[in-house]
Amino acid sequence: MAHLEVKDLHVKVEDKKILNGINLEINRGEIVALMGPNGSGKSTLACALMGSPKHAVEKGQIIINGEDITSLSPDKRAKKGLFLSFQYPSEIPGVSVANFLRTALNSINGTSISVKEFMQRLKEKMRLLDIDESFAKRYLNEGFSGGEKKRAEILQLAVLQPKIAILDETDSGTDVDALKTIANGINKIKEECNMGVLLITHYNRILQYVRPDKIHIVIDGKIVKTGGPELADKIEAEGYKGVLAGN
């Protein structure tokens, strides 16, 4: 049984139909890449999986470990082991990275980890990701560069250790050095906690460092082609039209 199953998912935003019957599975320890042009429905799928109220499920199911979570709120989905890394993370002035992460960890696990124990864990994860300890004191995403925002998202991933991570364009707004650091972090965390990953991207560049087990191409809200890592190289060389014309 796949840890995350999406069955015939149809989603609309306001009055516009975006997803038209998405089917996919992700197992723990597996990386699945979702690729497609702008407007194909990739980010809509990410938001729908996490339970965004703006993304109405008209039909289909979202199942985690055999349990249908289609009607659950985002916080309850997080407690079931889902995590969403946002394409455009929000700034939260006045709330430090450390305080935000400790509150999130306590909420998801239903615990009250001490400040001392949490800071030990946070510093361990920051060393893993090559992030300076001063980062923990900064207000979440306030004044962060594109690369720093993405590193903050991956730090959240490392601390919260979800069962399934949905990473929406984690490579956007990053330079090569930041991209390598982020990719290295994803790989380490995936191995450390046997995490399944849905990696949403336009481009092949992050897939050079985070190698997927399979790749799905989404066009007009449907998965139209599935393949292995080599599919990303074909997309880079031929474009989506060229790859699909070869079906």
Residue ranges of the chain whose pLDDT lies below 70: 1-2, 246-247
Q: What is the pLDDT of residue 132?
A: 85
User: Per residue in 43-60, pLDDT tens?
Assistant: 999 999 999 999 999 999
Q: What pLDDT, on the 0 to 100 scale, is given for residue 119? A: 94
pLDDT of res. 247? 62
pLDDT, averaged across the chain: 90
pLDDT in the model for residue 137: 94
The CATH number given to whatever domain includes residue 101 is 3.40.50.300
Residues of the domain holding 100 = 4-231+239-245
CA separation, residue 66 to residues 4, 110, 182, 235 (Å): 8, 22, 31, 34
Q: What is the pLDDT of residue 71?
A: 94
Q: Is 189 left (phi over 0), alpha (psi -120 to 50) or beta?
A: alpha
Distance CA 31, CA 190 (A): 9
Counted domains in the chain:
1
pLDDT at 74: 94
Q: If DSSP codes are grouped into helix, strand and coil, which group holds residue 189? A: helix
Q: What is the reported pLDDT for 147?
A: 79
